[in-house]
Each structure stands twice: as C-alpha cells, then as structure tokens.
Amino acid sequence: MRALIQRVSQASVTVEGETLASIGRGLVVLLGVGHGDSEAQAAYLAEKIANLRIFEDAQGKTNLSALDVGGEAIVVSQFTLYADTAKGRRPSFINAAQPEVAAPLVERFIGYLRGQGVPTQAGKFGAHMLVQIYNDGPVTIWLER
C-alpha cells in the first residue's frame, strides 16, 4: 500500500460538478493499493499518517500532527501510484490491485483514519475526480508499507 500525503491549507474533490469533499487545514492522502496489500497495512498507515508530525508549532518547527492541530483529511484512491514506467513511455499498472480488492481496502483505510480521530472525507472510487490541493509548504511525504 502506498500513500502520498500532502499537507494542505485547503482541498476539495469534485466529480461531475458535485463537490464530494472539502476541507481546510489538514491532509490530502492519495492512496494506492497493490497486490497482496492487507487491512494490517491500512491500519498501520492510518495510525502513522494521523500521528505524522508535519505541522508547525509556535516556534515554526514541524512538531505537530493532524490530530494536534485539529486537521482534517481527504482520501483519494489513486491506482496510478503503482505505475511502472521501466519500459517504454506508456505506464503499466499491472502492480495495482483490481478494483474489487482495492475499493474495500480504501474504505477500511478511511475507517481506520477516522478511528484515529481525524475527520476524514473521501473522493469517489473509480471516478474521474478533480482534486484541488493547496499544498502548504509545500510538504509532500511518501509512505509505503
């Protein structure tokens, strides 16, 4: 399971003109599910992300987590995190899990993140989404488990 986390000042997800998710200060988590990924990995990443100290404290040091600052999250499923570009110019996504496997794991991850205490919204699995991200910093972190 792979997660690309961006610290944001605000973010939103729109599908077919309808805003499905909108947050202020917090995190956007682009989440990819690969073959063999499990609920244990989803739980691990959710705990790690909720407690990741990437927000600044009063002294300007990255010492605070989303929980510490009352941040929210948007989770967007993104199979393209498993792109293989080793050959040619067209990426292969053979390492991404099939939708019937990935969708439930994305939902479990969202549940685990909420369970950590982070108010969490989501995009729509498999939809063409417009994701508006105001990356704060910019701070972007790659996690893989």
User: Mean pLDDT across the stretch 81-96?
Assistant: 96
Q: Which residue among 79, 109, 116, 121 is the active-site one?
A: 79
What CATH code is carried by the domain that includes residue 105? 3.50.80.10
The string of pLDDT tens digits covering residues 20-75 is 999 999 999 999 999 999 999 999 999 999 999 999 999 999 999 999 999 999 99
Distance of CA 114 to CAs 70, 118, 122, Å?
13, 5, 11
Identify which of 60, 59, 31, 56 has the alpha carbon closest to the alpha carbon of residue 46: 31
140 is catalytic: no
Tokens at residue 122, please? 């989501």
pLDDT band at 11 (very low <50, low <70, confident <90, very high): very high
Q: Is there a domain that residue 142 lies in?
A: no
On whether residue 49 sits in a domain, the answer given is yes
Catalytic site residue from 6, 41, 78, 121: 78
Reported as type and span, the H/E element at residue 99 is: helix 99-115
- pLDDT confidence of residue 145: 86
- 80 included as an active-site residue: yes
Q: Is residue 84 part of a domain?
A: yes
- Is 93 a catalytic site residue? no
| Digit-coded pLDDT (tens) for 98-131 | 999 999 999 999 999 999 999 999 999 999 999 9
The arithmetic mean of pLDDT across residues 73-83, rounded, is 97
Q: pTM for the complete prediction? A: 0.96
Rounded distance between C-alpha atoms, residue 18 and residue 81, angstroms: 25
The domain of 126 spans 2-137
Round the CA-based radius of gyration of the chain to a whole number and report it.
15
Give, rounded to a whole angstrom, the gap between the first and last alpha carbons of the chain.
Answer: 6
Q: How many domains is the chain partitioned into structurally?
A: 1
In a domain, residue 145? The reply is no
Is residue 76 within 8 A of residue 14, CB to CB? The reply is: no
Catalytic residue among 19, 80, 93, 98: 80
